[in-house]
Amino acid sequence: MAVVMVGSMAFDTIHTPTASRERVLGGACVYASIACSYFDRTHIVGVVGDDFKDENLKVLKDHKIDIGGVKRMAGKSFFWEGRYNADMKTRDTIKTELNVFEQFDPVMPESFKYVPYLFLANIDPDLQLKVLNSMQKLKFSMVDTMNLWISIKKEKLTEVFSKVDCVVLNDEEIRLFTGKDNILQGAKEIQAIGPRYVIIKKGEHGAALAAPGSYFSLPSYPVDSVVDPTGAGDSFGGAFIGYLSKANKTDVTSLKKAVAYGNTVASFTVEDFSVDRLKNLTRRDIDKRMKKIKKMVRF
């Protein structure tokens, strides 16, 4: 099988309590596609500026990621600058420059429309709907979002949720969307809209899966030193849907395994800045750590 991903491609400037990196590769689609590529064929749709050089795209090409849906426009690429606080859990945005991403209008190459697995990363719900309506043979679709769209485009976002199989949110986003303090109640309310599954991202505490009649929670792999948390959630999403696509199964058991693989790959991402750790993995590395997680949660 194969996966199509739609989302941001960017440069990030990242400050942590111990170090900084200037204009490193970032964006949800970049993290997610590299993570996915360790499992199955990956096609991406995005937009970059003329400052996005061949060596930046080479990182994706080296992982055999199909960039046929990436459009280059005159101008600068999406840019984000942020500073992480001492706990490495919270961060403050210093600067966001949409640049060419402000004009992003995803156009699906004809061959992409027949790919069975789709990951809609965090973009405007109107664009997510456009992509969903263009797909011809979807077997499984999942969507990520953020507080901004919940606050200003909840009606459109609700429509997106009604058309996908899986929604990915963190605790705060579930509370904001549903008004429920209890996360499980909130997840059930979202399921009532249409998606069978809700993934609850819990950062350093792992992730949970709410499915019809069942609930599954898995801790993250304990990382000795978190260098840069940027992109961990996107890496989770990429590995999650990549595993499902390769297995070509979407039953609850397979989704549980996908959560475990998502946690595993995300744990590598945080060990270095940008995609530096993520891009240098092997499937052997991933499977070895996956076994450690499996051993860790048995009792």
Identify each DSSP E strand in the chain by its residue range.
2-6, 10-15, 20-26, 41-48, 66-72, 78-84, 91-97, 117-120, 140-144, 166-170, 197-201, 207-211, 214-218
**Identity at 298, one-letter amino acid code:** R
Tokens representing 99 are 């640049």
Q: Is the pLDDT of residue 204 over 90?
A: no
**Per-residue model confidence (pLDDT) at position 44:** 98
pLDDT score of 25: 98
User: What are the two backbone dihedrals, phi and then psi, of residue 47, each rounded to the nearest 5 degrees?
Assistant: -140, 140
Predicted confidence at residue 211, as pLDDT, reads 97
Q: What is the pLDDT of residue 203?
A: 86
pLDDT recorded at residue 62 = 97
The token pair that represents 200 in the structure block = 């609850």
The tens digit of pLDDT for each residue in 271-286 reads 999 999 999 999 999 9
Q: Residue 78 pLDDT more than 90? A: yes
**Please, which residues have CB within 8 angstroms of residue 13's CB and are 6 or more apart in sequence?**
20, 21, 22, 23, 24, 79, 80, 81, 82, 94, 95
Q: Mean pLDDT throughout 35-54?
A: 97
Q: Are 79 and 96 contacting, i.e. CB atoms less than 8 angstroms apart?
A: yes
List the structure tokens of 54.
């061949």
Q: Examine the pLDDT at 94 and tell me if it is beyond 90.
A: yes
Total structural domains in the chain?
1
Q: What percent of the chain has pLDDT over 90?
A: 98
Whether 299 shows a pLDDT value over 90: the answer reads no
Number of H helices, E strands in the chain: 10, 13
Kindly state the average pLDDT of the residues 5-11.
98
* Domain span including residue 13: 2-297
CATH of the domain at 148: 3.40.1190.20
